[in-house]
Structure 1
Amino acid sequence: MNRRISSVLIILITFLIFASCGNKKAEQKQVSRIVSLGPSATEILFAIGAGDKVVARTAFCDYPKEVADIPSVGGFSSESENLEAIISYKPDMVYLFAGMHDSFIKPLENLGITVYVSDAASIKAVEDEILAVGKLTGCEVKAEEVVKQMNAELSEIKAKVTEAKNKSEREEYKMFWQIWDDPLMTAGKNSYINDIIEAAGWINIFGDVEQAYPVVSAEAVISAKPNYVIMTGSSEISGAFSNVVFDKEYIKLLHEQDDFWGVEYMGNSEITRPSPRLVNTVKEFADMMISYSKK
């Protein structure tokens, strides 16, 4: 594994694991200059109408397109970001992530800067975060509208999933989500991704594992007999899509099983971001489930 791939793995795994950490409540005062230290944070700020308050962001913040004009303070962890650079933008709020930016919290607070530490352990947590950030930024009304729209769309998706299941003779739609392949890592019960899988009407084959992002064996995946595999990470992919992900031995063995529908690699970072766009992910997976329910 080369250095670049190792860095991507560290960033992905660290973000997913520490996104489940508790949320440290920010001081309740309205802010006007924000440094965002994560893609989902930037998306939330723009979604609630606080995009004009963002004075700096990370190199991984790429949505919406307007963020391209905002200066970057570095990568997506305290190791690739510089505290002095963050402070140089004179923020009155820094929107960061537990576990990834712990070393920044105390120094920022000592300077009187509001710190909001993100928690993204579930869909509900994302909605709560949107509302909390809305209060801090004076965008409460828009934040409430965003959450209301998310819930309306999720309710519509749930109704369609329920209808499809009622019409189908099939009782289970089982999914394995490969977060990384070396080691083989997936989403457990206490993870944001598990919430996404279940909201879309699927059963996570490792949904009974308490650990948020456990390492599992290929044998365990095969014995669980998933109907479908989603991949969002591979040590053998460097940027562009590659068919090499389908050459994994456990995937070949799954294809030999009855009732296995296939595997799909999804490199789009939107899939795993705990932002308002999570609804798109739920809808995509729900449509997939509904399509298979008709077979």
Structure 2
Amino acid sequence: MPGFRSRLLAVALLLVAVVGAACGDGGDDRVAESTGVAESTGIVEEPGVAESTGIVEEPGVAESTGIVEEPEVAEPERPQRIVSLSPTATEMLFAIGAGEQVVAVEEFSNYPPGAPVTDLSGWNPNVEAVLSYEPDLVVISNDANDLVAGLNAAGVALHLSPAPMNLEAWYGTFAELGIATGRVDEAADLVARLRREISAALEAAPDAPVRVYHEIDQTYFSASSASFIGAVYSAMGATNIADQADGDGSGYPQLTEEYIVEADPELIVITDQVSYTAADLAARPGWGEVAAVRNGNIVTVNADIASRWGPRLPRFIAAIAEALQSVVEPVS
């Protein structure tokens, strides 16, 4: 069966593409637990033994040709009614070609345009509301309001896709979602493309370490290297000033003005969803001597791309890599 054979090959290639880069350095990859192939049909039975002759018969061998026939294996059904309760998952689903299978997404899934946005909540999900869309697969990033228990009780399949801890684990999230949605080939192609784009973006980052402060809001919450976005800064060779303040490894420590000024970041990153601008930040009392403020190295990035671990991540890396390079080699 060429279709099944090509599917198994695609699964193998996808997993190799995801975990291959980490095999040499012990990376923290997230590997899909199964390929979606039913155990009862994917096992080749032991060859039969003819009692009268004692001769072992070769399974599936045509006497006239000597060609071994492949076992009859049914491919798993592709889910047709997917509900996404995560903006990141929504982006990923459409990126791997599963958009036509998505019937509903939660209220903050504003990308890509045309996604079937509803009033469903991913932060405070209601099981009955989710089930009203008659899903055969629900994709979530976390379990809230006993959502998992409710879906299990209703017999609805679910796929948990939490925030990865690093880039290698990030590639794995696409692999897992591709298998869960029956989009193995598309996920494999996307992972390969993302690897190329991110590799190019990382190469554009300077070799010299740059002190970076990623400000989430005006109360000075930041992202340390224990978070996914912080791990991206680490991959670019930056020095994250929030790391020393993240004693419990939460990934999102709250800093103080005094701490930030003393740490003297050379690059400050804010998002376009805060209520202030780079100019407002530069005008803060006492911040005038901070290197990033003094040299005009304050960058505003798209908040959705920076806060999600979706397929638009290469854009964020490219923008930060360019900003880091401008710190090391300022334009005169």
TM-score by length of 1: 0.77
The residue aligned with 1:254 is 287
For 2:250, the equivalent position in structure 1 comes to 211
Shift of 1:177: 0.5
Q: Report deviation, 1:269.
A: 1.4
Contact 2:97/2:183 (8 A) holds in 1: yes
Counterpart among 107, 118, 121 of residue 150 in structure 2: 107
Superposition deviation, residue 113 in structure 1: 0.9
Corresponding residue SS for 1:180:
coil
**How much does 1:64 deviate?**
1.2
Structure 1: runs of 5 or more not aligned? 1-21, 166-170
SS of equivalent to 1:195: helix
TM-aligned CA deviation for residue 233 of structure 1: 7.6
Q: Where does 1:16-35 land on structure 2 (aligned, <5 Å)?
A: 28=36, 30-35=78-83
Q: Give 1 or 2 for the bigger CA radius of gyration.
A: 2
Alignment CA distance shift 1:179-1:226 (3 Å): same
Alpha-carbon distance change, 41 to 285 in structure 1, aligned in 2, over 3 angstroms? same
Q: Residues 265 and 290 of structure 2 are in contact (CA less than 8 Å); yes or no, is this contact kept in structure 1?
A: no
CA deviation after TM superposition for structure 1 residue 216, in Å:
1.6
Once the two structures are TM-superposed, the CA of residue 232 in structure 1 deviates from its matched residue by: 2.8
Quick one: percent identity of the two aligned structures? 25
The answer to whether the 8 Å contact 1:73/1:86 transfers is no
Amino acid in structure 1 at the alignment position of 2:327: Y
- Rounded Cα–Cα distance in structure 2 between residues aligned with 1:23 and 1:102: 27
Contact 2:202 2:318 in 1 (8 A): no
Matched, 1:159 2:191: no
What secondary structure, in the 3-state scheme, does the structure 1 residue paired with 2:305 have? helix
Which residue number corresponds to residue 126 of structure 2?
Answer: 82
Q: 1:230 to 1:258 in 2, by over 3 A?
A: closer
What letter is aligned with 1:43? E
Contact persistence 1:34–1:95 (CA under 8 A): yes
* SS at 1:185 equivalent: coil
Distance 1:149 1:92 in 2: 29
Say if 2:114 is the partner of 1:66: yes
Letter in 2 for 1:214: P
In structure 2, do the counterparts of structure 1 residues 135 and 128 end up closer, same or farther at CA, with 3 Å as the change threshold?
same
Unaligned runs of 5+ in 2: 1-29, 37-75
Equivalent pairs, count:
255
State how far apart, in whole Å, the 1-side matches of 2:32 and 2:202 are.
31
Q: Which has the higher helix share?
A: 1
Is the contact between residue 212 and residue 238 of structure 2 (CA under 8 Å) also seen in structure 1?
yes
Cα 1:234–1:132, aligned 2, differ >3 Å: closer, same or farther? closer
Per-residue deviation, 1:173: 1.1
Q: Distance in 2 between matches of 1:73 and 1:112?
A: 23
Deviation at 1:74, TM superposition (A): 2.7
